[in-house]
Chains A and B, each alone.
Chain A
């Protein structure tokens, strides 16, 4: 790896701490962000020569603060900036600052940064955009690309979010225990949404959006280091790792979806799976279950099965049952029905999703799943109607293509299946 690659990684990882601390000094997102950018430029100039500092985040905070203060002064009076050597020769001061910035300081700064992005006044799309810009440091262009909107539209979304945060007059004290745990849930949800933006990509956008999944995992790990004993944060991180482990197997060369059962399991990322399993294992010991843990436990059962037929569907059925109680939703029931179809057969599963018809009347997956159950029962004409409806509701061309494959199979099998159904 080249020197610059190391520096890039160090700057990325120091970003939440450094921007968080700079925000505490300047109480303004734009100033903090610009100060960090300037500090990064200095780092790119001086680190290759002087080697990396002992604590990159402390170095960036101090240099960023100095440069920003200089800029503010320069706005009043044209004074030249100090020489680079003078700014980078900060060993003593850096050490002092690093000592003072102990773990709890960093923790509060990063939390404040995450909490600001999850400000309750902001709609979810703005929360995500702001977090990706401020906490992750993605460029507006990158974010716009990932969300498939124009750069101008994304710029506007972020500017609006910043203005809203500034107007809201966010308090800079670390939030109290109750508020902290409340906001922790929204920070976790935001990370989950970022991941889903990346995960729900179709074949043709998978490459553009995969970095969102990686960024969400990085943020989840960061959050977990701040809250080491929160089983739900362990569960969230495990869930993201276990889902992302399958990334290389989810689409074929043409970008078409490959279902779990048909995926080449040798393409699954074993080290992400190992980490995800270790985290869910750790979370379970707390005996404080929550939706992320349950979903991670389902993902873990899939990850543990070497072949599709090894999958413990009975256990997955139980887990979805638990999730239905924690977070009742027709989509959860639909997922549970898939497990039920494996354990008790398609008729039981079909009976289970019948009552959802009205609430999921515009949901692509409902008709895809229903069609599959009907097909298994040999009720091909009804299956065809469900699949047609699914294609009409498909969100991506890959989804539509996948259903079309089922229809083709129906066409091919209609003769023998028809006979079976008749007896």
Chain B
């Protein structure tokens, strides 16, 4: 069974880390990730850009595009996509197509800041 580990933290606090503090955390995380990579157990790893870079597409009819992150406690995170798009318009296009296939809820579109592909296949 593959498990997704979703990263949550107080964004204000993380944003207040100095460059050195941030680098120190990333270095410690890399140690853990390297161990898993050697064991062939690590899949993709992504660090998302801040929520201020987020856009949300509510899958209404017609879909509603909102600035800012997804914030609705009645709905839960059920999965995610990683898509290569040239800009936000293209990413929103993909989200619209997905939304037409599966209405209801919302997609949060968050640019990825750091990405490691990993090698694990389900």
| In the complex, per-residue mask of B47-62: 1 if CB is within 8 Å of any chain A CB, else 0 | 0011111010000000
Chain B residues closer than 8 Å to A225, beta-carbon distance: 51-52, 68
Q: Which residues of chain B (70-95) have a CB below 8 Å from chain A?
A: 87-89
Given contacts A271-B113, A271-B114, A275-B113, contact A9 B55 (CB under 8 A): no
The answer to whether residues A282 and B15 also contact, given A274-B113, A275-B49 and a CB cut-off of 8 A, is no
Name A271-330 residues within 8 Å CB distance of B. 271, 274-275, 278-279, 281-282, 285
Is A142's beta carbon under 8 Å from chain B?
A: no
B14's closest neighbor in chain A, by CB? A9
Segment touching B, from A10-18, A72-80, A392-400: A10-18
The answer for the CA separation of A164 and B66 in the assembled complex, in Å, is 40
Q: Does A6 contact B (CB under 8 A)?
A: yes
Chain B hits for A41, CB < 8 A: none
B53 contacts A9, CB within 8 Å?
no
- With a cutoff of 8 Å between Cβ atoms, the chain A residues found around residue B111 in the complex are 274-275, 278
Q: Smallest CB-CB separation from B19: which chain A residue? A: A214
In the complex, A237 has a CB within 8 A of chain B: yes
Q: Which residues of B contact A218 (CB under 8 A)?
A: 15-16
A14 touches B113 (CB 8 A): no
Name the residue of chain A whose CB is nearest to the CB of B52.
A224
Q: How large is the interface on A (under 10, 10 to 19, 20 to 34, 35 or more residues)?
A: 20 to 34
Return the contact of B87 from the options A221, A271, A279, A281 (Cβ within 8 A): A281
A5 located at the interface, meaning its Cβ lies under 8 Å from any Cβ of chain B in the complex = yes
Give the most central of B17, B53, B68, B87: most A CB within 10 Å.
B53
Chain B residues closer than 8 Å to A8, beta-carbon distance: 16
Question: How many pairs of A and B residues are in contact by the CB < 8 Å rule?
Answer: 69
Task: Kindly state whether residue A228 has any CB partner on chain B within 8 Å.
Answer: yes
Contacts of B52 on A, CB cut-off 8 Å? 221, 224-225, 228, 234, 237, 279
State which size class the interface on B falls in.
20 to 34
- Asked if B100 lies at the interface with its beta carbon under 8 angstroms from chain A, I say no
Give the residues from 221 to 242 in chain A that come closer than 8 angstroms, CB to CB, to chain B: 221, 224-225, 228-229, 234, 237
CA distance A14 to B13 in the complex (A): 8
B1 CB to nearest A CB, Å: 31
What chain A residues lie within 8 Å of B49 (beta carbons)? 271, 274-275, 278
Set of chain B residues within 8 Å of A274, measured between Cβ atoms: 49, 111, 113
A1 within 8 A of B: yes
| Docked-complex contact B51 and A285, CB < 8 angstroms | no
Central interface residue in B49, B65, B67, B68, by most chain A CB within 10 Å: B67
Does B97 make an interface contact (CB < 8 A)? no
Once A5-B21, A271-B114, A278-B88 are accepted as A-B contacts, the answer to whether A13 and B50 lie under 8 Å apart by CB is no
In the complex the two chains form, is A279's CB within 8 Å of B16's CB? no
Q: How far is the CB of B49 from chain A (nearest CB, A)?
A: 5
Taking a contact as CB atoms under 8 Å apart, the answer to whether B24 and A1 are in contact is yes
Q: How far is the CA of A229 from the CA of B65 in the complex (A)?
A: 11
Inter-chain CA distance A151–B10, complex, in Å, is 34
B 34-45 binary contact with A (CB < 8 Å = 1; else 0): 000000000000
- In the assembled complex, the Cα of A218 lies from the Cα of B16 at a distance in Å of 7
Query: Once the chains are docked, how many angstroms separate the CA of A237 from the CA of B17?
Result: 18
Cβ of A1: which chain B residues have Cβ within 8 Å of it? 17, 21, 24-25
Q: Which residues from B are CB-within-8-Å of A14?
A: 12
* Neighbour of A9 across the interface among B17, B89, B113, B114, CB < 8 A: B17
> When the two chains form their complex, are residues A285 and B89 in contact, meaning their CB atoms are under 8 A apart?
yes
Nearest CB in chain A: distance from B39 CB, A: 26
Task: Give every chain A residue within 8 A of B17 (Cβ-Cβ).
Answer: 1, 5, 9
Contact between A10 and B13, CB atoms less than 8 A apart: yes
State whether A285 and B88 are in contact (beta carbons under 8 Å apart), knowing that A1-B25, A274-B111, A279-B53 are contacts in the complex.
yes
A228 x B12 contact (CB < 8 A): no
A237 to B52, CA, bound (A): 10
Complex: how many Å from CA A5 to CA B25? Answer: 12
Spell out B's residues near A (CB within 8 Å). Answer: 10, 12-17, 21, 24-25, 49-53, 55, 65-68, 87-89, 111, 113-114
The 7 closest A-B pairs by CB, nearest first: A13-B12, A228-B68, A9-B16, A278-B111, A278-B53, A229-B67, A13-B16
A–B pairs, 11, beta carbons within 8 Å: A1-B21, A9-B16, A13-B10, A14-B12, A56-B13, A224-B52, A234-B52, A234-B67, A271-B49, A275-B49, A278-B49
